[in-house]
Structure 1
């Protein structure tokens, strides 16, 4: 009696093994290519908050580049940047090593965390650089007034920062006087070396320097340079 199972020849087994190896090599190559583009070319990011409205809306998808950091390109006032908030707790090393694989194989949908984080503790935020190291800055009614390093005259942010953008700010409740928390004012401070002042376009809505002060350069991950979705609002920055 003969078995109904087909006995594969050595040649067939070798060919099948070769195909598996080729698939593994292709997957490894694609993963390394993904890592190279994410680190040195551009990284995709989905906007989750309303803090940069009306320019960036929730569900907008953008690209930011880390190349500017690698090549020591200087930041400028008005630049849109992706930051890691200073209060964000970094994951354990093992988790950080595993997350690139998870993001790659789940198309950016899943990643692990070392902590049970509240909704507001997110790893990435998009903000606008308003003042540079050496500048002095104060906030009045949610608007920035900047004295450039080495100069004496104070300038409204709209008169100093390149590009057009719209500031949204909340209307304070009746009886909410100056000196109360979140009144939209801040006394003048001078930025030290490698310190930046970053703000949301929707002032008073987001975590930014108005809430936790100057931001060290080490927390700036890259510059936003392109919005690729939705297609009707595709644009470069």
Structure 2
């Protein structure tokens, strides 16, 4: 009988440790920072597939994204409340509850225009408020695709582009995004180790 009591206490202690680890992991991931793996070629040559990024979820708590920032956002959904994001984070940690299509909706792009900016695309270049942008990070020509230019960025909206301009689904296709969809700022590359460092 004593052996069974000892075994039960041991199991109980492991369960408590697991629950606490799950709680704090979900809390940190949903409110402070997260990680994202690059799944596409749209940010080459800045970012490549399978690179792992550190996402600062506090970066835009008291300020808005600015031009040049690399952001992580959801194309089809807003960032939820504290409870919603916490439960979503738990579902990511537990493999049998992980959302299947959420990662396809989670994108990494560069902010080009913010509230009030007038964005135009012509002759393979981006113009903001009448001035052609110097974009050393851009790869290939920037051509207009689905939406009509010029476009004015509304309040609490962003115009975003991938750095790999000829192979990127971005605001040229799906239009402006709402700031409420932004998860955070991609501020640091964690992997591969020979590329580790702050993102520019």
2:119 matched to which residue of 1?
Answer: 137
TM-score with structure 2 setting the length: 0.84
Q: Which 4+ runs in 1 deviate beyond 3 A? A: 96-103
1:118-138, Cα deviation, whole Å (9 max, x unpaired): xxx812110000011011110
> Any conservation in 2 of the 1:140–1:186 contact (CA below 8 Å)?
no
Unaligned runs of 5+ in 2: 78-84
1:198 counterpart (136, 156, 160): 160
Matched, 1:30 2:21: yes
Unaligned runs of 5+ in 1: 1-8, 89-95, 148-153, 159-163, 173-180
- Report the structure number with the largest CA radius of gyration: 1
Matched, 1:207 2:189: no
Q: Give the alignment's Cα RMSD to 1 decimal.
A: 2.9
TM-score with structure 1 setting the length: 0.71
Q: Between Structure 1 and Structure 2, which shows a larger proportion of helix residues?
A: 2
Shift of 1:168: 1.4
1:150 matched to which residue of 2?
Answer: none
Tell me the secondary structure at the aligned position of residue 221 of structure 1. strand
1:104 matched to which residue of 2?
Answer: 93
Following the alignment from structure 1 to structure 2, what is the Cα–Cα distance between the partners of residues 167 and 43? Answer: 26
Following the alignment from structure 2 to structure 1, what is the Cα–Cα distance between the partners of residues 123 and 142? Answer: 10
Following the alignment from structure 1 to structure 2, what is the Cα–Cα distance between the partners of residues 132 and 110? Answer: 36
Shift of 1:102: 5.2
Following the alignment from structure 2 to structure 1, what is the Cα–Cα distance between the partners of residues 40 and 97? Answer: 19
Shift of 1:97: 8.5
1:189 matched to which residue of 2?
Answer: 151
1:123-165, Cα deviation, whole Å (9 max, x unpaired): 2110000011011110123421111xxxxxx22222xxxxx74
Distance 1:236 1:217, change over 3 A: same
Q: How many residues align?
A: 193
Following the alignment from structure 1 to structure 2, what is the Cα–Cα distance between the partners of residues 171 and 217? Answer: 23
